[in-house]
Chains A and B, each alone.
Chain A
Amino acid sequence: MTTPAPASTSTIDLVARFPGVVQADARPGYSGFIVEKDSLIEVATAIRDEFGFDLMTAVTGVDYAPDKMEVVYHAYRTTGGPSLVFKVQVPRVDPVEVPSLIHLWPGVDLQEREAWDLLGIKFTGHPDLRRILMWEGFEGHPLRKDWKEGFYEEDTKPFKSRWPDGQFYMAEDKNPFKDNLTFPQNFDPEKWIPEGDALLYGALARYTVKSEEGISTDRIVINMGPHHPSTHGVFRAVMTLDGETIVGLKPVLGYLHRNHDKIGERNTYLQNMPFTDRLDYFNSMTNNFGYALAVEKLMKIPVAERAEYIRVIVSELSRIQNHLIFIGTTLNDLGAMYTPSLYTFEERELILDVFEAISGARMMCNYFRFGGVVRDIEEAEMNKIKDLVYERIPPKTDELDRMLSENEVLVSRMKGVRMINAEDAVAYSVTGPVLRAAGVPYDIRRADPYGIYDRFDFDVAVRYNGDLMDNYLIRIDEIRQSLRILDQAIKQIPQGPINSQKPQYQVRVPAGEAYGRVESPKGELGYYVVSNGKPNPWRYHVRPASFVNVTSLEKICVGTKIADFVVLLAMFDMVMGECDR
């Protein structure tokens, strides 16, 4: 019944193909290849065109202070299989420069900007390398190991001040200005000109479209957001309009940025688990899953059999409730006001009741532990899940389908409004339902199975038009597939322990790197964790689905009407908590 899990990295021999410029990464616990900086473009082109790694999912940097910086790339094939990891190492002297891969994979755009913003790695050849998460006047690059924030207390937790003589004080009181910002030297807020906005509008001014014959129209730049009801959080889209048509668009992020990565590097491994809940706050279960996978890979520990099933059950329930909210809020964005979202929230509440009973919280579950889960699903809760899976959710999904899918208003707003085609979706590293609705049957649960997903019989939902209607219908398809998985998991779940390890508040993690990724309801959610054997991760990076998907927003929106923008954005099912971290 069990098929062996595929190797986590591909066995392609890049060293033989590029002797001299590519080396295998021989550090203990590491894998992949180290590419010479000057041949990066050449090697990357071969990786994409010769070896077929067309989906570049994760790009990030690691600061190996004090001597070098590293940029890590994770490339995958959309046909499935393990990743190809390659890295570039550069000396840690200013400026740290690495060639940009944006012309090969346009999807690295925002990720390279993020690496620049947080780590100060300059990607030469990137056309629009601005800060993305921090504001333009921000001092320094926060993920560098020598950067310290305003309320700095200690490099890593646990802080010594808490015990054994922990007199309480407020962190704000340590800073005379009571804020945790550090400003550049000689900074005068009165005289500061936000260059970022000038650059931003400058970037938009690049766009020229030929005006209609005989009619000259003025272009207008408008800001949608950051506080717009349709942007599902604090997201700002700066658009240039020609009449009603969008001719240029730039997403502006960072309004909800909490520097999750930095917090993660100061936490211990276990302490990160409840923080992952807060990324995509609708799906704390899948967030936990990805992180647990990455750390378990590093620790090389097995997962208890019963826990494997519990993990699948809770993450599929999570997917169902996420898609339900998605449908409700999308209809809300289309102007259906409150009714559909209320109906979808009914089912969601029932699922959250189960989560609360097993984990203690409705949304911030903090349910996974390394090697298993924290608490068993008792008989009573299992019966509740069975009721939901067999009696409650299937008819309600049908009802939702009946209510919406043929609704004339809905169909006329959605049918034929193009989202993205398959080729562009892959180039822009779009993952999740949006990619599958464009006709690429790429689902990590099948393409590169994790946990025990290879034991279940289900279809990867795929639709081929790539329009809004398909993007909406694919969610309903996925709910039905999740129900199929749940049915099998509930029937097969064995008795037994729910954790292969003893509960311990401090885990031992050997040195090395690991990338754990799951098919979250929004797309690929990955965690890149580097350990140096100490109690805290050296590097902790989240590759969120929303953030990378939004790279393609410009491509999607240019040429469409502004009225459709709200729905086009809604289709990404963005959660800003995950996007900005």
Chain B
Amino acid sequence: MYGKGILKGLGVTAKRFWETYTEDLAWLLRGKKRYYTEEGVRHRSSKDQKGIFTVQYPEERLILPEEARYLPFLVYNELADGKREILCTSCGICAKVCPPQCIWIVRSNDPTTGRPIPEPTEFFIDADICMNCGYCAEYCPFDAIKMDHDFEIASYGRNVYNMEQLLKSSEYYKSIRPQNYAREEAARKAEEEAKKAKAAAKAAAEAAAKAAPPPAEPPAASAADTQVNS
């Protein structure tokens, strides 16, 4: 029959239209809210979604998975005396790996000793050039730079963030990426434990060495030690 295909197609549309309302009704009868609740949004972006699937941004938002990445930020720990402990050591790896080269780090030397200060003096990220690739966070050896979830960065000018604008607390980091945070904390703890165990073992060995009579040729033994270490 001519026109059957068109009717079939329209049937699909009619089904969607219908489903939107039956779904609404079903949620209503179950006493749940389909709109403006997290549950509702979650359902609308799941495989069981039927009918309308749009999200009423900005009143409603899609639920971001933990790994979602927008712009990087620097992590600091809040210390007991209110000071901030910046984790970054200005090692420069993120600036070297950044594909569009939008990270600029100023590292400075201690005026008295002339040795480099680990903490960066300045840290710029040109957020308009950042391609949100996540390399800086991925390759930072100190977990000092992380990818943010905040994507609302519209502005009238250029977004060149300096260190003040980039710093966010580790509490915030924990709130957006609980699993990553837990994993890193566990790794850090394990490392510290290992360090402590090593130190304890070393102290014990030293104590034992002291207690025991001095070895016949101490210089030779220490030379061997340095060789192993180097």
Assuming A162-B95, A407-B9, is B135 touching A357 (CB within 8 A)? no
Asked whether, in the complex, the Cβ of B138 is within 8 Å of the Cβ of A392, the reply is: no
Q: How far is the CB of B209 from chain A (nearest CB, A)?
A: 36
Asked whether, in the complex, the Cβ of B101 is within 8 Å of the Cβ of A162, the reply is: yes
Give the docked Cα–Cα distance between A360 and B92 (Å). Answer: 24
Q: Which of B96-147 contact A (CB under 8 A)?
A: 96-99, 101, 103-108, 116, 122, 124, 126, 131-135, 138-139, 147
Q: Which of the listed residues B3, B5, B6, B158 has the most CB atoms from chain A within 10 Å of its own CB?
A: B5
Partner pick for B133 among A158, A274, A391, A411, CB 8 A cutoff: A274
Give the docked Cα–Cα distance between A407 and B2 (Å). Answer: 10
For B59-71 the 0/1 string (1 means CB < 8 A from A) is 0000011111100
For B1-35 the 0/1 string (1 means CB < 8 A from A) is 01111101100110010000000000000000000
B45 CB within 8 Å of chain A:
yes
Partner pick for A157 among B47, B92, B101, B138, CB 8 A cutoff: B101
Partner pick for B105 among A166, A271, A374, A503, CB 8 A cutoff: A166
Asked whether, in the complex, the Cβ of A409 is within 8 Å of the Cβ of B131, the reply is: no
Asked whether, in the complex, the Cβ of A360 is within 8 Å of the Cβ of B67, the reply is: yes
A39 CB within 8 Å of chain B:
no
Which chain B residue shows the least CB distance to A408?
B5
Across-interface contacts of B101 in A (CB, < 8 A) = 157-159, 162
Q: How far is the CB of A348 from chain B (nearest CB, A)?
A: 11
B160 CB within 8 Å of chain A:
yes
Give the docked Cα–Cα distance between A179 and B92 (Å). Answer: 30
Across-interface contacts of B187 in A (CB, < 8 A) = none
Assuming A164-B92, A168-B126, is B47 touching A375 (CB within 8 A)? no
Assuming A167-B106, A350-B45, A350-B47, is B13 touching A339 (CB within 8 A)? yes
Assuming A159-B101, A274-B99, A403-B12, is B53 touching A346 (CB within 8 A)? yes
A406 CB within 8 Å of chain B:
yes
Partner pick for A364 among B45, B67, B133, B138, CB 8 A cutoff: B133
A206 CB within 8 Å of chain B:
no
Give the docked Cα–Cα distance between A561 and B64 (Å). Answer: 47
Asked whether, in the complex, the Cβ of A406 is within 8 Å of the Cβ of B5, the reply is: yes
Across-interface contacts of B97 in A (CB, < 8 A) = 158, 268, 270-271, 505-506
Asked whether, in the complex, the Cβ of A403 is within 8 Å of the Cβ of B133, the reply is: no
Asked whether, in the complex, the Cβ of A374 is within 8 Å of the Cβ of B131, the reply is: no
Q: Which of A339-368 contact B (CB under 8 A)?
A: 339, 343, 346, 349-350, 353, 356-361, 364, 366
Across-interface contacts of A278 in B (CB, < 8 A) = 131
A13 CB within 8 Å of chain B:
no
Partner pick for A349 among B53, B92, B139, CB 8 A cutoff: B53
A244 CB within 8 Å of chain B:
no
Asked whether, in the complex, the Cβ of B160 is within 8 Å of the Cβ of A168, the reply is: yes
For A513-531 the 0/1 string (1 means CB < 8 A from B) is 0000000000000000000
Partner pick for B107 among A164, A349, A350, A353, CB 8 A cutoff: A164
Partner pick for B106 among A159, A164, A274, A403, CB 8 A cutoff: A164
Give the docked Cα–Cα distance between A403 and B6 (Å). Answer: 8
Give the docked Cα–Cα distance between A271 and B95 (Å). Answer: 12
Give the docked Cα–Cα distance between A158 and B139 (Å). Answer: 15
A275 CB within 8 Å of chain B:
yes
Across-interface contacts of B65 in A (CB, < 8 A) = 353, 356-357
B49 CB within 8 Å of chain A:
yes
A388 CB within 8 Å of chain B:
yes
For B70-103 the 0/1 string (1 means CB < 8 A from A) is 0000000000000000000010110111110101
Give the docked Cα–Cα distance between A286 and B26 (Å). Answer: 40
Asked whether, in the complex, the Cβ of B106 is within 8 Å of the Cβ of A271, the reply is: no
Asked whether, in the complex, the Cβ of B5 is within 8 Å of the Cβ of A505, the reply is: no
Asked whether, in the complex, the Cβ of A356 is within 8 Å of the Cβ of B68, the reply is: yes
For A400-427 the 0/1 string (1 means CB < 8 A from B) is 0011111111110000000000000000
For A269-290 the 0/1 string (1 means CB < 8 A from B) is 0111111001000000000000
A197 CB within 8 Å of chain B:
no
Q: How far is the CB of A361 from chain B (nearest CB, A)?
A: 6
A267 CB within 8 Å of chain B:
yes
Give the docked Cα–Cα distance between A339 and B13 (Å). Answer: 8
Q: Which of the listed residues A161, A166, A346, A359 has the most CB atoms from chain B within 10 Å of its own CB?
A: A166
Assuming A158-B101, A270-B97, is B67 touching A356 (CB within 8 A)? yes
Across-interface contacts of A360 in B (CB, < 8 A) = 67-69, 134, 147
Give the docked Cα–Cα distance between A318 and B116 (Å). Answer: 47
Across-interface contacts of A192 in B (CB, < 8 A) = none
Which chain A residue shows the least CB distance to B63?
A353
Which chain A residue shows the least CB distance to B93?
A505
Which chain B residue shows the least CB distance to A407?
B5
Assuming A162-B101, A163-B107, A357-B67, is B124 touching A374 (CB within 8 A)? no
Asked whether, in the complex, the Cβ of B104 is within 8 Å of the Cβ of A374, the reply is: no
A379 CB within 8 Å of chain B:
no
Partner pick for A167 among B104, B132, B158, CB 8 A cutoff: B104
Asked whether, in the complex, the Cβ of A392 is within 8 Å of the Cβ of B47, the reply is: yes
Residues of A within 8 A of B (CB): 157-159, 161-168, 170, 267-268, 270-275, 278, 339, 343, 346, 349-350, 353, 356-361, 364, 366, 374-375, 384, 387-388, 391-392, 399, 402-411, 503, 505-506
Could you pull out 9 A-B pairs where Cβ atoms are within 8 angstroms? A159-B101, A164-B106, A274-B135, A357-B65, A361-B134, A364-B133, A408-B3, A408-B5, A505-B139
List 6 tightest A-B contacts by C-beta distance, closest first: A166-B104, A406-B5, A274-B133, A357-B65, A271-B99, A163-B92
